Structure 1
Amino acid sequence: MSSLDYPLLRDTARVDAASVEPLPGSCKINVQDSRADIRVEAREVKLTPAAVECALIGGKSGSPLSAY
């Protein structure tokens, strides 16, 4: 039996629709650091007052959290 008898992962792999849909309360942003020619894609999440209190983040409820 050879490896050609089995289906290849690239032919059978599927992506769950929930993993590519937009996340509620967030948007994609591009973060630039010290070099102007390099940007990193991140996600900016709007926090509710309960999320700020639960996570013990020292910010305001209106300030977004950037996640890489």
Structure 2
Amino acid sequence: MSVVDRRNTTTVRHEYLVPQPAAYGDVQEAIMFAKRDASDAGKDTSYDDAMHVTHDDDNIIVYWEEVKR
């Protein structure tokens, strides 16, 4: 009998966009919204890597990911 199992996962990325150039308060607010929503979804937000911050050409992006199995 094989020990191989198959698993499909879907990652949902919840993004909070702040147009650039951005004021610090706007970025701080995006982080607050992201932490609140992630916490409401059952994600532990006490770790440093619970939220991520990146950017594209027009926005600063605060996001968290939810993995559905």
| Structure 1 and Structure 2 fold alike (TM over 0.5) | no
Larger radius of gyration: 1
Higher strand share: 2
**Normalised by the size of structure 1, how large is the TM-score?**
0.32
Higher relative contact order (CA closer than 8 Å, sequence separation 6+): 2
TM-score by length of 2: 0.32
